[in-house]
Structure 1
């Protein structure tokens, strides 16, 4: 009985997800980029290195990304 119920729920979930994906169109990337606004600080060090800093204090997580444009 539990297996039949689980199978029925899985099939109905898959059908709903497929129907939802078929109806919706993806938004153009240009429109999505215009909506993104991330506050940051930009400064240049004495050695010419440009630094971008964004602080997000929502969660106690630290991440560092280093990109070299050479």
Structure 2
């Protein structure tokens, strides 16, 4: 077993990215799809928010948090 610790912002953004890759059929093979789906399930169970009315706002805030220290 491998354990990885993520901030809440990282988990939310990673969850969205993986869903987009799986939904867009952008993975190389069934093994990648299975690994991504398993990670999505684990992330979803531990997300600090529940998808709902304010989910888009929280996702936007998470993206902003992760990019605020990146220099242009």
Fold similarity call, TM over 0.5:
no
Q: More helix by proportion, 1 or 2?
A: 2
Largest Rg, 1 or 2: 1
Q: Give the TM-score normalised by structure 2.
A: 0.27
Q: Give the TM-score normalised by structure 1.
A: 0.28
